[in-house]
Each structure stands twice: as C-alpha cells, then as structure tokens.
Structure 1
Amino acid sequence: MEKVYIISRYRAFTERGREFNRRVARYFCRKVILEGKQPIAPHLYYTQFLDDGDERERRIGTQIGIKELREADEFLLILIDGKISEGMYAEIREATKEGKRGRIICMTRKEIEEVME
C-alpha cells in the first residue's frame, strides 16, 4: 500500500485554530484512505502525547516526522489561504530534497469549511 505523507498546518494562535487544523488533516487522511493509500500525518499522531509547545518535544516529533516523510511514497501538501507554517516549510524542503512526487491542494478557509461539513 502506498504511503502518502500529509503536509498541513498544526500550530495556531488559539485552540480553536488548532482544532480547525486537526479537522483539515483528518479530512485529508480520510480522503487518502478512500483512495486506497495509507496516510501519514505525524502532526495528528505525535501531538497526542508530545507537547508541541515544548521545543525539545516538538523537535523529537519533527525528527520522527521527517523520517516518515523519507519513507513515504509521495506527499500531499494542503495550503489553506496560502499559509505555510515553519513545520510545513521544513517538510516541503525535505520532500524537495528527497525528490518526492506529490500533490498540492490550495483552498480558502471558506472552501475547506464547506467541503468538510
């Protein structure tokens, strides 16, 4: 089964913003599964037990995520309102360096909210 690494925002200024970002990631993970592929979304998994606000724990989660990105067959980059976070930037840089094939989805917040309903 092909593995698809999900690149999307996690960090936000508010808990409401983080929840929105988690919903986006879950939505696209589901779409990937329905395509018959395995989604890899470290920002959903590791934030369940690592503290994203603690730089050491964030770095650990990021390092594991980059390892998983290297092992993935492709990536899916999700841009909402054209915003790229620091973490996304690192993942994009790594995917480019590795020569991964990928897809990019660009949507506005309003568009993604409508399709996630």
Structure 2
Amino acid sequence: MKRVFICSPFAGDIERNVEVAKKLCRMAMDQGYAPFAPHLLYPRFVDDHDPQQRSAGISCGLAYMETCSEVWAFTGNGISKGMQQELSHAREIGQTIVEIHEVE
C-alpha cells in the first residue's frame, strides 16, 4: 500500500483546517492509500506555540515524509508557513507533489 503525506494548513481556523485534513485522509484511503497527516497527530502532544516543540514536530513529520510515495498538498486556501517547509523538503528529496485545490 502506498503512503501519502497530507500537507494542508493547520494554524488559523484550526477547526476548519482539521476537517480539510480529515477529508484529505479519507480521500487517500478511498483510493487505496495509507495517509499520514502530521498536523492531526503531533498537536496532540506538542505545544505548537513553543518554537522548539513546533520545530521538533515538523522535523518528525518531515522524517516520515521520506517514507511516502507522494505528497498531497491542499492549496485551495493558500500555503501556510508550515506547508512551505514541507513542500520545500518534498522538492529537496524529489517527492511527487500532487496539488489538490478543493475537497468535498
């Protein structure tokens, strides 16, 4: 089963952004992929307002990205600072980036 890294905003309208990430994960599963959305996991035990903890959480997510087949980037609401880091890393390691502009 292919692994897909889900890249979408978290900060800002957190409730809406979490719903978008969940929908992207569901889309991936429906297509037979195993999704991973670090921003649905790490904020449960990492303080996103603490720069060191936030950086560590992002680093963990990037390490997992390296095991994925694709990066799905939701760009329908723009690209956040965290997404910029993820997409930059994806390009550096030669990951396939699939842009998704809307979710249902």
TM-score (norm 1): 0.84
CA distance in 2, matches of 1:90, 1:102: 13
Paired residues in the alignment total 104
Any stretches of 5+ residues in structure 2 without a counterpart?
Answer: none
| Structure ranking higher in helix proportion | 1
Percent identity over paired residues: 32
Match of 2:62 in 1: 66
Paired AA for residue 6 in structure 2: I
Query: Which protein shows a greater Rg?
Result: 1
Match of 2:98 in 1: 103
C-alpha RMSD of the superposition: 1.0
Cα deviation digits, residues 49-72 of structure 1 (max 9, x gap)? 111111111011001001011111
The 5-angstrom pairing of residues 1-117 of structure 1 reads 1-12=1-12, 17-81=13-77, 83-107=78-102, 112=103, 115=104
CA distance in 2, matches of 1:22, 1:80: 14
Which structure 1 residue ranges, 4+ long, deviate > 2 Å from structure 2?
Answer: none
